[in-house]
Structure 1
Amino acid sequence: MGSAFGCMPKEDLTGGMGSRSKRGSKSRSQRKMAASEEELLHRQALAMAIQQHQLSQRFEGSMSRRIGSTSSRRRDLPDSITNGKQQPLILEDLETRKIILVHGEGFGAWCWYKIISLLEEVGLNPVALDLRGSGIDNTDPNSITTLADYSKPLTDYLHNLLDDEKVILVGHSCGGASISYAMECYPKKISKAVFLTATMVLDGQKPFDVFSEELASADVFLKESQFLVYGNGSDNPPTGLMFDKQHIKSGLYFNQSPPKDIALATVSMRTIPLEPIMEKLSLTPENYGMVRRFFIQTLDDRMLSPDVQEKLVRENPPHGIYKIKGSDHCPFFSKPQSLYKILLEIAQLP
């Protein structure tokens, strides 16, 4: 049905891995320099998350986030995207260079900082958006009651594109519902849609339905969940969902991610608006069905198990399937190089 993407060598862009020769192949000063670069990168990401140091670009009222320096990353360019002379690949004849990165539940644009840097390195134009009530968007998550409202930064961005301009959408986890909604609204402005271990739902299905087999039915979940937030008071229906720091650290999302990225998530994740993920989507063949879809499976995922991911692609077959071995639910942290190579391959498909 599509090409499978095998396991990449285990890597960590933060510099935390790599062999150490007993003979000292790297000088102590070089190691200190690498450590300093690593610390600087994470300081920048953390500062963004807590709004002490913000690097943002605005587009007609929607917020995009860009983090990290690309000037020092040339040496990390993977062999698979270089030609025989080991020169950086020149990307030509692309339908679009613009890749819109849509975060999942509780996350924000900040989570894409590694992928943004890698995509920019080869001349692509990544734009990471904060959905409403996420990242540094100041909307109260408990006030968001529809998927249309939650996804408004994305649909506003697409609405303001030039008539002949197209983008590639990438949606992570529950961000799959937002890009599905956008595909229904603006199919002619979307070249391809990439579902990254995401809620690739069918017409009439709720995003929550994707997780219900593992968590419980919606009714049981709403009665028993200890993670529910009652923004309108305990006498009213729940308005949000929030994992506390201990659950974030427990490995549900980050069983393969570097500790510093887990720390970043711990201080950055916000309440998840509940009603948008309980809303049934209306998707038509004439709109949603006209956009080519690709699904990226993460094979060490504890949040959305490989079995559930297989069920998603079986029930709603995409145009292509890729797999990342050794990745948890957040490959932008745990396997950034592998994820980047897949996105690059998809961008080059005619």
Structure 2
Amino acid sequence: MTFRPLRPPFRPTALLLGLLFLLATAAHAAPPAPKQTVVLVHGATAGAWEWKRTGQFLTDDGHAVYRATLTGLGEREHLNSAAIDLQTHIDDVVNLILFEDLHDVVLTGHSYGGMVVTGVMDRIPERIRHVVFLDAAVPQDGQSIWDLFGSRGPLPADRFRDGFMQVPWVKPGDKPPYSVKQSIKCFEQPVSYRNPAALALPVTYVAFVPKDQKIEERARTDKSWQNADARGWTMRTFPGGHVAQQEDPRGVATLIEASVNDRNRAVGAAAASAKAAGTAAE
């Protein structure tokens, strides 16, 4: 008589529960963040080099990144001229977007770059999805950056001469990348910001706030902060100095990604109507 070893009865319960768990997890998993087209615009005397590491983090996250270098600055220093003005730099970024045929652009501007992206918004709002002002100038229509910061008057000879704002901390023989002198006309020329489609774009304003500065003090004294807030833009802060993108490039990249879904608040008459409606409902 042949004896066969007894096999344990098949119990599919554990296997089925595991499969059901995996299916449920997949069904409820958050979809991957959409990939964006990001255009980074640097500040005065700088260049695209200043945004290399932040741009690389954005690229690593799957976004298409374009780091603009404004005429006469950065690796385009050989084109430097006292005739360059704000409009030249606005044209630089507008043409980058048009010639690369970019749409739904997440447009960012840092410092003086806020003047540039304001002009770009006014020119081609139909190409832009969201704008992020990173510790940047926020001018009113018809203002220059000197109007915004109240810098009219005699210019210090050690910083402004021969039609340029000088960069005294860069010495002969320094190796690139480095900051370069910039035409004074960039700071004198007013910007246009009146296109209704530009005024309706969703915008995030980010103040880079050092550890030794109080946010309340910054809000009280910063005209760019006040202009942004008055427009109903999303207001954010980020810990760091004026070049926080070099101090914490990963953090700034993540900040840009998080800002894309920000939406403007209602302001003016619309805000008053909404407040009144809310009061009546109560």
Both structures adopt the same fold (TM-score exceeding 0.5): yes
Flag the 1:315–1:284 CA change in 2: closer, same or farther, 3 A: same
Paired with 1:158 and 1:199, the residues of 2 have a C-alpha distance of 21
**Is the contact made by 1:298 and 1:328 (CA closer than 8 Å) also made in structure 2?**
yes
Flag the 1:189–1:309 CA change in 2: closer, same or farther, 3 A: farther
Letter matched to residue 81 of structure 2? P
**Is the contact made by 1:131 and 1:152 (CA closer than 8 Å) also made in structure 2?**
no
Residues paired across the two proteins, number? 227
Structure 1 residue 273: Cα displacement: 1.7
Letter matched to residue 120 of structure 2? A
Paired with 1:130 and 1:301, the residues of 2 have a C-alpha distance of 30
RMSD, aligned CA: 2.9
Paired with 2:175 and 2:59, the residues of 1 have a C-alpha distance of 22
**Is the contact made by 2:44 and 2:111 (CA closer than 8 Å) also made in structure 1?**
yes
Flag the 1:329–1:264 CA change in 2: closer, same or farther, 3 A: farther
**Is the contact made by 1:132 and 1:152 (CA closer than 8 Å) also made in structure 2?**
no
Flag the 1:240–1:195 CA change in 2: closer, same or farther, 3 A: same
Paired with 2:37 and 2:224, the residues of 1 have a C-alpha distance of 27
| Residue among 272, 280, 293 paired with 2:182 | 272
* Structure 2: gaps (5+ residues): 1-24, 264-282
SS at match of 1:142: coil
Paired with 1:162 and 1:299, the residues of 2 have a C-alpha distance of 35
SS at match of 1:127: strand
Letter matched to residue 204 of structure 2? F
Flag the 1:343–1:316 CA change in 2: closer, same or farther, 3 A: closer
**Is the contact made by 2:121 and 2:198 (CA closer than 8 Å) also made in structure 1?**
yes
2:161: which partner in 1? Answer: 229
**Is the contact made by 2:204 and 2:262 (CA closer than 8 Å) also made in structure 1?**
no
Letter matched to residue 315 of structure 1? N
1:136: which partner in 2? Answer: 75
* Structure 1: gaps (5+ residues): 1-83, 231-238, 248-262
Flag the 1:290–1:272 CA change in 2: closer, same or farther, 3 A: same
**Is the contact made by 1:191 and 1:291 (CA closer than 8 Å) also made in structure 2?**
yes
Identity across the alignment (%): 18
SS at match of 2:74: coil
2:227: which partner in 1? Answer: 315
| Residue among 105, 115, 118 paired with 1:167 | 105
2:167: which partner in 1? Answer: 243
**Is the contact made by 2:90 and 2:116 (CA closer than 8 Å) also made in structure 1?**
yes
1:123: which partner in 2? Answer: 62
Structure 1 residue 310: Cα displacement: 4.1
Higher relative contact order (CA 8 A, sep 6+): 1
Paired with 2:134 and 2:90, the residues of 1 have a C-alpha distance of 17
Flag the 1:170–1:114 CA change in 2: closer, same or farther, 3 A: same
Flag the 1:98–1:298 CA change in 2: closer, same or farther, 3 A: same
**Is the contact made by 1:177 and 1:207 (CA closer than 8 Å) also made in structure 2?**
yes
**Is the contact made by 2:141 and 2:191 (CA closer than 8 Å) also made in structure 1?**
yes
1:209: which partner in 2? Answer: 147
Structure 1 or 2, whichever has the larger Rg, is 2
1:339 and 2:252 equivalent?
yes
1:283 and 2:193 equivalent?
yes
SS at match of 1:295: strand
Give the stretch that moved more between structures: 184-193 or 132-141.
132-141
